[in-house]
Amino acid sequence: MVTRLDPKTFDADAENTWCPGCGDFAILRALKLALTELGIAPHEALVVSGIGCGSKLPDYMHINGYMTIHGRPLPVATGAKLANPDLHVIVVDGDGDAYGIGGNHFMHSCRRNPNITHIVEDNQIYGLTKGQYSPTSDLGFVTTTSPDGAIERPLLPVAVALAAGATFIARTFAGDPKHMAAVIAEAIKHRGYSLIDVLQPCVTFNRVNTYDWYRERVYKLGEDYDPTDRDSARARAHEWETRIPLGVIYRNDELQTYEDQVLPLQAGSPLASVLKLQKDPAPGQYESLKEQFL
Amino acid sequence: MIGVMAPQSTNDLSIMIGGDAGQGVESSGAGFALALARAGLHVFALQDYRSRIRGGHNFYQIRVGEGPLYSHRDPVELLLALTPQSIPLHLDNLHEGSAVIFPQKWEDVDVSRLTARGLTVERLPLMEIAERHGSRLMLNTAVLAAASAITGFPLDYMAGVIRENFGRKSAELADTNLAVAQEAYEVTLDHFGDSFPHRIKPIEGAPKRMLMHGNEAIAFGALAGGCRFVSAYPMTPATSIIEWLSAVPHEFGMVTKHAEDEIAAVCMALGASYTGARAMTATSGGGFSLMVEAMGLSGMTEVPLVIVEAQRGGPSTGLPTRTEQSDLLFMIHASQGEFPRIITAPGTIEQCFEAGWRAFNLADKYQCPVVVATDQALAANLRTLDMDAIDPRTVEIDRGATLRPEDVDALSEEYLRFRFSDDGISPRAMPGRETAVLTVPSDEHDESGHINEEPGVRVRMMQKRMQKLKTAEAEMKPPLLYGPEDADLTLVTWGSTTGHCRAAADEINAAGGSANVLQFIDMWPMPVEAAREALDRCRRKVAVEQNYTGQLALLIRMTTGVAMDDTLAKYDGRPFSPRQIIEGVGMEVASGHKA
């Protein structure tokens, strides 16, 4: 049976607790549109999230979802993808998850290149804990944990991802739903790790980086921009304070995914199908392993 | 004194090899142990090393016997010294009639001090032989050949191992080592003849036996039990689990992942398990500390998870290469909040194999984290096993209330992942089918999986989860008794200490005493009734364990109300020797710390 897809297919009957005007609503909508456009049904995808306002997204969506712990959705998703490569695995988390507590997993996912789409809801603040500065907060940003203004320079996620070897790096803006849906769809289509840094205003706790603040700075990369050119990407990756590029900043479609290179995966059936295994189908197979101890 | 060594013996001795890290102490010891196993003998081999790649004293101790061995034994009859310092360091391990073999070149060795103790001392031109044929690095080969000669153990066995081990690198290297071995063997035979009273005699027609350690047995058990995903971060003494599984042929479909840290390792296993694969991670206490939050995630989201925790001396970096059993209460209480978990602690290599596959059945049936708790001594010490001790045909695979894709497709009503049930277990569907699309949150949730903080839902969901612990208790293994059912003294123990307690009880009983061993295997949930019954039958109960606070004794008291009469605690990082246990309990635990 083929289910006819409609963005409504992904609607869930759950109470949404996001603040009115939150950029997360637009991200949720864009993800539904992207999946619809690609013809990926709810049971064919898995959304793994971390902890934070935006990480509640799977609860507000009819889709396979695993809401994990703070900073750890990437390794959970990596395990899930290795065990069942048929699933479209999407990670949704925030700047605290991805660039702070889970920074190690972010860096290693970039160079590892699992076929996972990583959507980071980057609002430059910790919202769920009511307003503390985040790894992407700008210098001087005043919050409850930086009353004298933040004195650490902000992490530039696009530059870090590029240096760490990511094969698809994009940025989009929650104030531009169409652009967002198109970029997410493009990222899902990419075979390999794809980072989408989404500029997502927190309307309650971040009164600096507002929709207007972003609108004054963002610009879309034009038709003439070549995302496969690493040098151009490097230049755009460092643009931040005054001009912020939107679109696919870098892509390399030549590299194999991590899963593609795992030889035992090619030799056997998907790990998840071990479920079928009731009894060792060939005891001799295991018996032969005993020889090495003689 | 119990168990005085006979002045003469056949196939009943202990050999020690001492040297610096980088001299091949471990590979030499393991090679000699393999040669002995191939000669039909039973072997127990203990490795003692430091956390460094070069330098620092290491030793390897091999006990040889004709029946199954569960422990090393002091004193040793033969000390093979690869460095001059090995001799004074191990003087107290020797007794009258023991022999010390070392190279002639070491003129500083105080021979008179050794002979005054009744030791047989022989300077042999072993270094010269090694250098003449190859290099001083081949001293270990010379020494092993000398050990063969002095004990009357035919060189063929050691030569076979040398040929295999060095042949893997190059035929020339194998030939050179064989030449060293041959000459060292002949020179030693010229010196000693058959004067050394402790002999090694191959047993003709003996059945083949495997030489294996606990980590290999767990890994083998896991593989045979259908585990197909292992993610880990290297940490002594657990590393050989992922190493062994990484080396199995690709046809098994065994996927291993050396992750960026232990948090990633445990989370990858959890992700793989969520989609239906049997997945595990393996670590030691430090790595387990990092996995604790994810263990709670497994508990809350009811995703099966197997963690092997091979304990070592703590706290912090502690004694990185040494043994301890000090994480027991930590494993039982690890992670915030309350959720069911199962802790099983094998004590023998056979039990390690069983724990390796059984852990996955328990994890699937109770949809919770299962910790296989071992310790460095069990993880790394080698023992000979009969071929049928590791029998893949005995493996049972029980996935509990796991729904197959066809079961999910046939669902007639809305699928509720966390459906309330009497036993606390809810049928588990994997992602991938249209009829069971849902989100599994780490937040408290309702039966369908949506976040829910209503007090009524919370209470029922807590009760549902915790009920699984009660359900599981019915299939937890009762403590295992070794030795006579009725005894004056019961050694109450767990983990690798079991083997040393068994050897101690055997010695006590052989000398006319009366002792048995009560080994706890399933630690959590504690099979309370069975444990109480077993303990009630004991007279004097002494907990023997490798930690400061007597954690097994505390756990038993906490769960059963039964108090030990004494606790013999050891926390120096070295395994108990049977003698230390005998003296410890005989002297009212005066030689150990009384917890």
Three-class SS state of B418: coil
User: Can you give the pLDDT at residue A274?
Assistant: 55
Q: Are residues B60 and B128 in the same domain?
A: yes
Total domains in the fold of chain B? 3
- Tell whether A105 is within 8 A of chain B (Cβ): yes
User: Can you give the pLDDT at residue B192?
Assistant: 87
Q: What is the 3-state secondary structure (H, E, C) of B317-343?
A: CCECCCCCCCCHHHHHHCCCCCCCCEE
Q: Are residues B275 and B187 in the same domain?
A: no
Three-class SS state of B133: helix
- How many CB atoms are closer than 10 A to CB A130? 11
- Does residue B115 form part of some domain? yes
Secondary structure (DSSP) of B367-409: TSEEEEEEEHHHHH-EEEEEGGGS-GGG-----TTBPPHHHHH
- Identify all chain A residues contacting B274, using CB atoms and an 8 Å cutoff: 66, 76, 79-80
Q: Are residues B223 and B192 in the same domain?
A: no
pLDDT single digits (tens) A20-58: 999 999 999 999 999 999 999 999 999 999 999 999 999
Spatial contact of B37 and B70, defined as CB atoms under 8 Å apart: no
- Does residue B194 form part of some domain? yes
HSE, side-chain direction, 13 A CA sphere, residue B230: 32
Residue B202, preceding bond cis, omega within 30 degrees?
A: no
Which residues, including other chains, have CB under 8 Å from residue B253's CB and lie 6 or more apart?
Answer: A264, A265, A267, A268, A269, A271, B228
- How many CB atoms are closer than 10 A to CB B62? 26
User: Can you give the pLDDT at residue A283?
Assistant: 58
Point out which residues pair with A247 in neighbouring strands.
A171
Spatial contact of B456 and B426, defined as CB atoms under 8 Å apart: no
- Identify all chain A residues contacting B231, using CB atoms and an 8 Å cutoff: 75, 79
User: Can you give the pLDDT at residue A236?
Assistant: 98
- Does residue B141 form part of some domain? yes
DSSP run (H or E) holding B519:
strand B515-519
A residues 136-195 lying closer than 8 A (beta carbon) to B = none
- Does residue B439 form part of some domain? no
Three-class SS state of A267: helix
User: Can you give the pLDDT at residue B251?
Assistant: 86
Domain spans of chain A, in order of start = 8-261
- Identify all chain B residues contacting A81, using CB atoms and an 8 Å cutoff: 271
Q: Which of A69, A271, A286 sits opposite B277 (nearest CB)?
A: A271
- Does residue B462 form part of some domain? no
User: Can you give the pLDDT at residue A285?
Assistant: 79
Q: Are residues B164 and B245 in the same domain?
A: no
B309 — phi, psi (to 5°)? -120, 100
CB contact under 8 A, B442 and A67: yes
Residue B315 is part of a domain; what is its CATH number? 3.40.50.970
Which residues, including other chains, have CB under 8 Å from residue A19's CB and lie 6 or more apart?
Answer: A203, A204
| Average pLDDT estimate for A259-269 | 86
Domain that holds residue B184: 9-199
User: Can you give the pLDDT at residue A275?
Assistant: 56
DSSP run (H or E) holding B291:
helix B285-301
pLDDT exceeds 80 at position A84: yes
pLDDT single digits (tens) A193-205: 999 999 999 999 9
Q: Are residues B497 and B354 in the same domain?
A: no
| Average pLDDT estimate for A93-100 | 98
Three-class SS state of B145: helix
- How many CB atoms are closer than 10 A to CB A145? 12
Query: Last residue of a domain, which of B169, B199, B229?
Result: B199
- Does residue B354 form part of some domain? yes
Q: Cα separation of B247 and B229, whole Å?
A: 13
Considering the segment(s) A8-261 as one domain, its CATH architecture is 3-Layer(aba) Sandwich (3.40)
A residues 27-46 lying closer than 8 A (beta carbon) to B = 41-44, 46
Q: Are residues B186 and B237 in the same domain?
A: no
Exposure string of B344-360, with b = 16+ CB inside 10 Å and e = fewer, is bbbbbbbbbbbbbbbbb
Point out which residues pair with B121 in neighbouring strands.
B100
What order of strands is seen across the sheet that includes strand A194-199? Answer: A218-220, A244-251, A168-173, A194-199, A116-122, A88-94, A45-49, A64-67, B439-441
- Does residue B441 form part of some domain? no
Q: Are residues B125 and B74 in the same domain?
A: yes
User: Can you give the pLDDT at residue B589?
Assistant: 35
Q: Are residues B390 and B504 in the same domain?
A: no
pLDDT single digits (tens) B428-467: 999 999 999 999 999 999 999 999 999 999 999 999 999 9
Tokens describing residue B455: 């007090």
Query: Last residue of a domain, which of B330, B361, B394?
Result: B394
Q: Are residues B152 and B247 in the same domain?
A: no
User: Can you give the pLDDT at residue B4?
Assistant: 44
- Does residue B489 form part of some domain? yes
Q: Are residues B194 and B221 in the same domain?
A: no
CB contact under 8 A, A84 and B432: yes
Q: Are residues B95 and B129 in the same domain?
A: yes
Tokens describing residue B111: 């021979």
- How many CB atoms are closer than 10 A to CB A254? 8
| Average pLDDT estimate for A103-125 | 98
Three-class SS state of B17: strand
Percent of chain A past pLDDT 70, that is, above it, reads: 94
Instruction: Tell me how close the Cα of A18 comes to any Cα of chain B, in angstroms.
Output: 14
User: Can you give the pLDDT at residue B5?
Assistant: 45
Residue B530 is part of a domain; what is its CATH number? 3.40.50.920
User: Can you give the pLDDT at residue A276?
Assistant: 53
Tokens describing residue A73: 């959705």
Instruction: Tell me how close the Cα of B368 comes to any Cα of chain A, in angstroms.
Output: 15
pLDDT exceeds 80 at position A209: yes
Global pTM value:
0.96
- Tell whether A264 is within 8 A of chain B (Cβ): yes
Output the tens digit of pLDDT for each of chain B's 595 residues.
333 444 789 999 999 999 998 899 999 999 999 999 999 999 999 998 887 777 789 999 999 999 999 999 989 999 999 999 999 999 999 999 999 999 998 988 989 999 999 999 888 999 999 999 999 999 999 999 999 999 999 999 999 999 999 999 999 999 999 999 999 999 999 988 999 999 999 999 999 999 999 999 999 999 999 999 999 999 999 999 999 999 999 888 899 999 999 999 999 999 999 999 999 999 999 999 999 999 999 999 999 999 999 999 999 999 999 999 999 999 999 999 999 999 999 999 999 999 999 999 999 999 999 999 999 999 999 999 999 999 988 999 999 999 988 899 999 999 999 999 999 999 999 999 999 999 999 999 999 999 999 999 999 999 999 999 999 999 999 999 999 999 999 999 999 999 999 999 999 999 999 999 999 999 999 999 999 999 999 999 999 999 999 999 999 999 999 999 999 999 999 999 999 999 999 833 333 333 3
pLDDT exceeds 60 at position A281: no
User: Can you give the pLDDT at residue A268?
Assistant: 64
Query: Last residue of a domain, which of B338, B367, B394?
Result: B394
Whole-Å CA distances, B367 to A30, B228, B305, B404: 35, 18, 8, 15
Average pLDDT, chain A: 94
Tokens describing residue B26: 């471990």
